[in-house]
Structure 1
Amino acid sequence: MEELEKLRIQRVPKTKSRLVSKSRRKKLALPIGLLFGIVLIYLFFTGTFSSSVEVTVGTVAVSYPAREYTLFNATGYVVPQTKADIASKATGRLEALEVEEGSHVKKGDIVARLENQDVLAGKERAKANVAVAHAQLAEAKAELKDATVALARAQNLVKKKFIPQETYDTAVARHDKAIAAVQSAEANILAAEASYEEAKVTVEYTLIRAPFDGVILKKHADLGDVVAPFSSTTQSKGAVVSMADMNTLQVEADVSESNLTQVRAGQPCEIQLDALPGERFRGRVHMIVPTVDRTKATVLVKVRFVELDERILPDMSSRVSFLSKELSPQEQKPHTVVQASALVMKGNQPHVFRVNDNTAHKIPVTLGKRLDELVIVQRGLNQGDKVVLNPPDKLREGTPVELSQTD
């Protein structure tokens, strides 16, 4: 019996401490579960557990107030009004070229020189002929002086019957001949000087000079090329260089006939160059060319720059906005704009969803006035920011996004 008593399982009654521990765990489970649920709800609504949303984005851009006063737009090109292909009337081999593309030259500067040893020799010969003519004139004047003295002596002697009449007549003829010789010598001087001027012009033809202040645009010949401006052969060159006066740059725009009534001389314009997209230049209508291009139904309008910029170059493509009024200095400053479809109103505070690293972030913005489909943003966004257009209702702060299209 004693051995059986040893095998009996002794059941220990639950202690008070164990009962208390179990009760405490039940009380803590409720707040922990509630907190965990709140966290899950927050993460769900912030998009942490949500899949990416496909959205369309636009770019925050810069707009100029001139668009409010634009009557119409026209395209064209920058063209210098003073431009020349420089050549020479002489024919010869190009011996020196003093300029290259982009060189600034003044009126009268030597741009190039042809071989001119032969014409230089002709110039020296003509100069020597002028000296010879002057010497002949001096000789003729000396002869005239002697003949005048002899004639006066013969007049006195013939009156006193000391010499015969034939001797007097010979003195008169000699005097007349001396006068004619002086006149001939003077004429020879004029002819020699004219020949000398002709020789100098011939030499000048071999020196190709700039006809006005400007910039060299292009070279057409190199050293050693034969320059023959009036020849059409492939072995010779015509013009040596092309140059333009950069102070005469204007935009030549093709204006449709339907818009011609809205154009007037002196009208304010805004010029945008494709090469300088971030710049706007003030302009004015200089002239309306009174000719219509029948093939395009357009009229050529020349628009001058109010202030020239050294970055403006010939043949740059441009767009001209013809304005209804002159812009004030304040109206010439650009505005940061966003498409109106990107705005989300929450109460009285507008927001946009800006996309950074494929994640949407809700950004409050301060708006200005509306410009058609755009709205001026005074604060909150910068140029180049990407924003969601027509944001879906399920879009939240921190939601991953996929870009379906970038405008």
Structure 2
Amino acid sequence: MPTRLRFPLFCSTIGGLIIASLRSIVATPDISRLKIERGAAPQVQGQRSRRRRWGRIVLAVVVVGLGASVALGRFAGKTSVETVTVAQAYPAQNYTLLNATGYVVAQRKAALSSKATGRLEWLGVLEGSRVKKDEVVARLENRDVGASLGQAQANVKVAQANLEQGQAELLDAQANFKRTGDLLDQKFIAAASYDTAQARLNKAKANISGYTAAIAAARANAQAAQVALDQTVIRAPFDGVILTKNANVGDNITPFSSAADSKGAVVTIADMDTLEVEADVSESSLSKIRVDQPAEIQLDAFPELRLAGTVSRTVPTVDRSKATLLVKVRFVDRDPRVLPDMSAKVAFLSKAVPAEDRQPVTAVQPAAIVTRDGKPVVFVADADKVTQVAVTQGRKIGELVEVRGVKPGQKVVLAPDPKLQDGQAVAMAKK
């Protein structure tokens, strides 16, 4: 209700209270008249009673009048004002061409599992653990595969022993063939004996080839057994951070099936050096986006954090249902607090933000600044009064104006009345 309407209503209310008080006092019956007069004493008592009654009337009028005057003075002395909050603004707003929202994602991310099927026997990481490339993350139960590897390695040794035996037979056959040839030259043996020695030599040479092939086959079997054993060990494919743990020790890991009470992936890992923001840009605003364009990234989790970025690439297809294009923005500034799946806002800039414009400045709405005695001032509202504060105006940042002399979070009067004075009592208008 406006002040001009509330003031007469308040006065009428106070007047009604005064009249009601007087009526209640005057209407009080005088019991002294019922007494029997016995000389002069009753007359004196009646006079005293009347004086006390009129004294109470006067006192009530004075008290009510004083209260009304104090209340009227306080009520009439306050001016209703509208206030706004002094904010922090970033000069990068002056370079902003387009704003978009999106989420932080990791370009390189993997769900780790084993190619083999088995029971999870050991898990060496937790959520948030940092791992290096080829570091062992988990291991499946592999005693049967280990036994197969041992058998294959033993077969390799057997094949090598057979080769050594064949080499010995080959040396003996070569020596026998040489002796047989010498004896044949001297006519001491028949030609048939020479042919037998030559056949033996050829057989020994053939056995060497067979033993060599057997060794190769045994080594291949051993390698296959080693691969089967390695498949029960889960290693990190790259340097990264464990995001989620999907299985516990004792769970059955079945990566290629969906058996009941089984798990596919053991952990999920992401390379934090490949974090980027995926933002949806309206199809009508694509002309404002280009590759390698500077951008500024703001995280909803840390509003005060502004990170420099650049447009990495655009997905060459438009979402028909939303008429948007997916734009990927790479982080130029890194911060360990940035995590995958965080909500983010991206400001696409006309140029890179200079170093001097990376920090926030104090700003207010232009309507809060007025001129007093030729100087710009604002009226800071504190409790039920205002204080005039001189400020220095700066550049315009969006819809705000940079100022010096006030602090962020303070309340200032919006569009102050020309009659508003320093120290004047005010009432905050409710929005």
TM-score normalised to structure 2 length = 0.80
Does residue 384 of the first structure (1) align with residue 409 of the second (2)? yes
Where does residue 340 of structure 2 map in the other structure?
314
Where does residue 244 of structure 1 map in the other structure?
270
Does residue 213 of the first structure (1) align with residue 253 of the second (2)? no
Alignment check: 8 A CA contact 1:269 1:322 kept:
yes
Mapped partners of 1:359, 1:174: distance in 2: 120
Matches within 5 A, 1:285-304: 285-304=311-330
Where does residue 126 of structure 1 map in the other structure?
152
- Which one of 214, 217, 222 corresponds to residue 188 of structure 1? 214
Does residue 333 of the first structure (1) align with residue 359 of the second (2)? yes
User: In the alignment, residue 301 of structure 1 is paired with which amino acid?
Assistant: V
Deviation per CA, 1:39-89: give whole Å up to 9, x if none: xxxx9xxx9663544433221111111111111111111111110000000
2:292 counterpart SS class: coil
Mapped partners of 1:370, 1:276: distance in 2: 25
1:131 counterpart SS class: helix
* Greater share of helix: 2
Q: Cα–Cα, structure 1 residues 294 and 177, in superposed 2: closer, same or farther, change >3 Å?
A: same
Alignment check: 8 A CA contact 1:52 1:402 kept:
no
Where does residue 284 of structure 1 map in the other structure?
310
Mapped partners of 2:156, 2:352: distance in 1: 65
User: In the alignment, residue 254 of structure 1 is paired with which amino acid?
Assistant: D
Deviation per CA, 1:350-369: give whole Å up to 9, x if none: 22222222432222211112
- Which one of 182, 193, 199 corresponds to residue 167 of structure 1? 193
Alignment check: 8 A CA contact 2:292 2:312 kept:
yes
Deviation per CA, 1:145-187: give whole Å up to 9, x if none: 1111111122222233322222222111111111111111111
Alignment check: 8 A CA contact 1:48 1:398 kept:
no
- Which one of 377, 388, 394 corresponds to residue 351 of structure 1? 377
Mapped partners of 2:248, 2:95: distance in 1: 51
Mapped partners of 1:120, 1:73: distance in 2: 58
TM-score normalised to structure 1 length = 0.85
Mapped partners of 1:51, 1:174: distance in 2: 130
Where does residue 77 of structure 1 map in the other structure?
103
**Deviation at residue 273 of structure 1 after TM alignment:** 0.7
User: In the alignment, residue 388 of structure 1 is paired with which amino acid?
Assistant: V
Deviation per CA, 1:114-153: give whole Å up to 9, x if none: 1011111111111111111111110010011111111112
Where does residue 170 of structure 2 map in the other structure?
144
Mapped partners of 1:52, 1:141: distance in 2: 116
User: In the alignment, residue 77 of structure 1 is paired with which amino acid?
Assistant: Y
**Deviation at residue 279 of structure 1 after TM alignment:** 1.3
Alignment check: 8 A CA contact 2:94 2:398 kept:
no
Compare 219-228 and 191-200 and name the one that shifted more. 191-200
User: In the alignment, residue 414 of structure 2 is paired with which amino acid?
Assistant: L
User: In the alignment, residue 277 of structure 2 is paired with which amino acid?
Assistant: V
Alignment check: 8 A CA contact 2:149 2:222 kept:
yes
Does residue 200 of the first structure (1) align with residue 226 of the second (2)? yes
Count of residues paired in the alignment: 360
Mapped partners of 1:125, 1:289: distance in 2: 52
Once the two structures are aligned, what percentage of the paired residues are identical?
A: 52
Where does residue 17 of structure 2 map in the other structure?
none
Q: Cα–Cα, structure 1 residues 164 and 230, in superposed 2: closer, same or farther, change >3 Å?
A: same
> Unpaired runs of 5+ in structure 2?
1-69
Where does residue 8 of structure 1 map in the other structure?
none
Where does residue 63 of structure 1 map in the other structure?
89
Mapped partners of 1:78, 1:213: distance in 2: 19
Alignment check: 8 A CA contact 2:275 2:340 kept:
yes
Mapped partners of 2:261, 2:87: distance in 1: 55
User: In the alignment, residue 335 of structure 2 is paired with which amino acid?
Assistant: D
**Deviation at residue 256 of structure 1 after TM alignment:** 1.3
* Greater share of strand: 1
**Deviation at residue 371 of structure 1 after TM alignment:** 3.0
Mapped partners of 1:125, 1:367: distance in 2: 85
Mapped partners of 1:52, 1:116: distance in 2: 84
User: In the alignment, residue 249 of structure 2 is paired with which amino acid?
Assistant: L
**Deviation at residue 320 of structure 1 after TM alignment:** 0.7
Mapped partners of 2:176, 2:424: distance in 1: 126
1:95 counterpart SS class: strand
Mapped partners of 2:379, 2:369: distance in 1: 8
